[in-house]
Every structure is written in C-alpha cells, then in structure tokens.
Amino acid sequence: MTYLPTVPRTTAGPLFADTGLKLGVFGLNVTSAGAVTASPERHEIDWDQNVRLVQLAEEAGFEAAIPFSRWRGFEGRTDPWGRSFDPYTWAAALAALTSRITLFATSHCLTVSPVMAAKQIATIDAISGGRVGLNVVAGWFAKELRMFGVEALDHEARYGYSEEWLQVVLRLWEGGEDFDFHGQWLTVENGVSRPGPVQRPHPPIMNAAFSARGHQLAARYADLSFVSALDAASAGRKVREIREVAAGFGREQSVWIAASVVCAETDREARALVERWSETDLDDVAVRNAIEWTMGGARMPQEQHRQLTKAVASTMAGYPLVGTPARIAEQLAELHAAGIDGVALTWMNYEAGIPRFIDEVLPILEREGVRRPVAAASAR
C-alpha cells in the first residue's frame, strides 16, 4: 500500500503565515548543540532554562522550536550531545506552557514505531491546540542505533524504511477504517489511531533533504524541508531543485536551512570566537567521532576533514552566521532572497545568544522587511 495525503491543508499556524523569513530555535534540548567543543561557553541543558528560552522566542515571534533526537554523545573529554531531553515529551510539556509557537518532536524512524509516533503526535496536537510538528530523521548514527538493537541500514534502505514509516503514520492520522500495511520493512495489521490530530489533513512534517534520495522523500511527504549549503547562491540552487521535485508530485514545499549564530561587536571578534572554539577549546576526540560516526569522515580527503573539524567544533557545520548583528541580519536577508523560507538557529550559548538575537538582529530584519513584526503579522 502506498499512501499519500490528497486533502488540502485547512488548518495553519505560524509556520504557514505570511510573515517573511521564519525563525526556529534548534537543538535547545541537547548539550553542546551549537558546536562539538570543550568550550566553557557551550550549552548546558536545564528544563527551567528550556522553558524560559522557548517562551522568550515565542514572545519575540519565532515560529518554531525544534529539538534534536539524541540518545548518546560523541564521548571525548566533554561528551558533547551526551545529555538530552526526549523530543516527544519535551514537545508535549512545552505545548502546555506556550500559546503560539509550533513545537516539533524529532523522531528517528528506526527507533520509534510509526503507530506510537502517530498516537504521540496526535496527543501533543490536542495539548497544544494544533501546534505540533513532526521532524522525521532517517537515522545514521550506528553506535546509537545499536542501543535499540537496530542494525544500521545503507543510505537507500534507510530512505525506503522511512518512506514506509511515513505512509503508516499518515494513514493512521487520516482515520477511518482499520487497515493493513505490508511493506518491505514494516507490517501493520488492523492499524488504527483515534482520536486523530487537530491539524488537517495532518500536523506539518519536516525532513532534512541532503541527497537526491532525500529530496525525493521530502518532496513527496514533507511540508518543510531542510537543505544544506555553503553560501546563498548554492542555497538558492538547492531550493529550486527540491521545489522542482515537489512540483512533480503536485506539491509545494517550504524550504528551511540550519544555521549557527556567532554574534559579536565586530566581525573580527566573531571570527576570533570561531577560532578559539575550534582550536584552543577543541575536543579533538569528540569532533573526530562526530565526523566519522555521522558524516563518513574516515573516507574523506585530509583537507576536507580538516575544514570540517573547524566547522563542527565551532558551528556544528550549520550555515555560519558569523559577525555583527548587522552582518548576521544581512546574511539572513541573502538566504531569504535566495528562496529560503525558514532558518533553524543554534548558538554556542543559547542563554546569551537568543536574547541578543532578539534585541539586536530581529529589529534589523523587521526594519528591512525580511520579517514582519508579530503584531503586524497577526493583523493580516
């Protein structure tokens, strides 16, 4: 059985409002989310802190809070990403403590049953009044997957599994009669999940699309896609590519990018922070593990490995927004002009970084028309 939703979206929240460039807080639930580093400035998680910062982002008009799904860290001296809050319960709790922002739950298909995922997301949708989204990850961290007794699949097989997983979730959300599903990877007998989600036809689905096969999955099933890029021009090419694929399925696509903010009084000071985090504060074992366990680092040319080491240790290889508040706003405007609809943002230190972004970068984006203020957007 191959299932695709055909009902047009009849419910929409801030993710689909006409507000300009969308903003999301990314990875707040994981230690050292913004960079794999031993820096004393690295992010440390605390529940009250997570609540406070998501509420602050909501008040400023951010459209989304998107967690990482992590079960172990990268070891080394400081074990970056080694402490984390579960993304489903994180989203559920925050749903009860917020009123506007979309809370995503991030799910590795290989570690969560699609029947469980469908029920949990529908429940969070009820808690939030229709403000939950599902960020689907195909899964690539073999050491982590073995904790679940799951064998790592090759690239093509992971996406085949994920496609079946999404078909089951979407069919469960649709409701109606019990159904059977018999695929290559998944079997469901008498599948049913009631009540269905508040959002129709279903809560928004987000997916990272970093390969041609990934683009196919995202374009066919996701409402929002992540792309990666080195500059605004390459981001524009990726946007066009995935939208062309989506058009082939008769669908539209909101395209996002993950970016890391390094803000300082001068561009030089911001670059100096990147150098310190990736050199003086380097946790070389953790960085090497991150690259080899998740990015195929053992097969990389030496120079590519060296460049990636610096990026992972300072920005976790996200799109680097480095410089003064004005320069960061300029870079975000360039991405938006290239076709990027939303940016999922990380910081080395979220407690300092989010308030500074709100106070110094956001007003520039609003003044330049890259975003509209919350009050103006609500009045439209």
Is 100 part of a structural domain of the chain? yes
Q: How far is CA 311 from CA 38, 122, 179, 258, 329, in A?
A: 14, 37, 47, 13, 21
Q: How far is CA 290 from CA 79, 142, 229, 260, in A?
A: 10, 12, 19, 17
Checking if the pLDDT of 274 tops 70, the result is: yes
Nearest-5° Cα angle at 256, 262 to 12: 125
Checking if the pLDDT of 43 tops 80, the result is: yes
Q: Could you tell me the end-to-end alpha-carbon distance of the chain, in angstroms, rounded to an integer?
A: 41
Looking from the CA of 298 toward its CB, the CA atoms found within 13 Å total 4
pLDDT in tens, 149-204: 887 788 889 999 999 999 999 999 999 999 999 999 999 999 999 999 999 999 99
Among 8-22, 25-39, 247-261, the range scoring the smallest mean pLDDT is: 8-22
Is 71 part of a structural domain of the chain? yes
Under a CB-based contact definition with an 8 Å cutoff, are residues 222 and 152 in contact? no
pLDDT of res. 245: 93
CA–CA separation, 150 and 137 (whole Å): 15
Residue type, 355: P
Among 18-22, 37-41, 360-364, 373-377, the range scoring the smallest mean pLDDT is: 373-377
In DSSP terms, which residues pair with 227 in a beta bridge?
A: 257
Residue partners of 7: CB distance under 8 A and separation at least 6: 200, 201
Tally of CB atoms within 10 A around 324: 18
Residue 248 confidence class, pLDDT cut points 50, 70, 90: very high
Is 380 part of a structural domain of the chain? no
Sign of the four-CA dihedral 344, 350, 353, 356: positive
Whose tokens are 């110094």? That residue is 360
Residue partners of 74: CB distance under 8 A and separation at least 6: 36, 80, 81, 82, 286, 287, 289, 290, 293
pLDDT in tens, 78-92: 999 999 999 999 999
Sign of the four-CA dihedral 322, 325, 326, 332: positive
- How far does Cα 1 stand from its chain's mean position? 29
Of 105, 85, 241, the closest CA to residue 169 belongs to: 105
pLDDT of res. 379: 40
| pLDDT, the chain, mean | 91
DSSP for residue 11: -
SS3 58: helix
pLDDT of res. 12: 64
pLDDT of res. 349: 96
Cα-Cα-Cα-Cα torsion 230, 231, 234, 235, nearest 10 degrees, comes to 100
- Both tokens of 97, joined, read 């403590």
pLDDT in tens, 119-160: 999 999 999 999 999 999 987 788 888 898 887 788 889 999
Is 169 part of a structural domain of the chain? yes
pLDDT of res. 191: 97
pLDDT in tens, 336-357: 999 999 999 999 999 999 999 9
Q: Residue 207: which domain range?
A: 14-372
Is 177 part of a structural domain of the chain? yes
Indicate the burial class of 380 (C-beta count within 10 angstroms; 0-12, 13-18, 19 or more): exposed
pLDDT in tens, 300-327: 667 776 788 888 888 887 899 999 999 9
Tally of CB atoms within 10 A around 258: 21
Under a CB-based contact definition with an 8 Å cutoff, are residues 138 and 118 in contact? no
- Residue 190: which CATH number? 3.20.20.30
CA–CA separation, 101 and 67 (whole Å): 13
Structurally, how many domains does the chain consist of?
Answer: 1
DSSP for residue 297: G
Among 26-30, 205-209, 302-306, 314-318, the range scoring the smallest mean pLDDT is: 302-306
Radius of gyration of the chain (CA): 20
Is 144 part of a structural domain of the chain? yes
Is 111 part of a structural domain of the chain? yes
Helix axes 325-337, 232-248, angle to 10 degrees: 30
Is 6 part of a structural domain of the chain? no
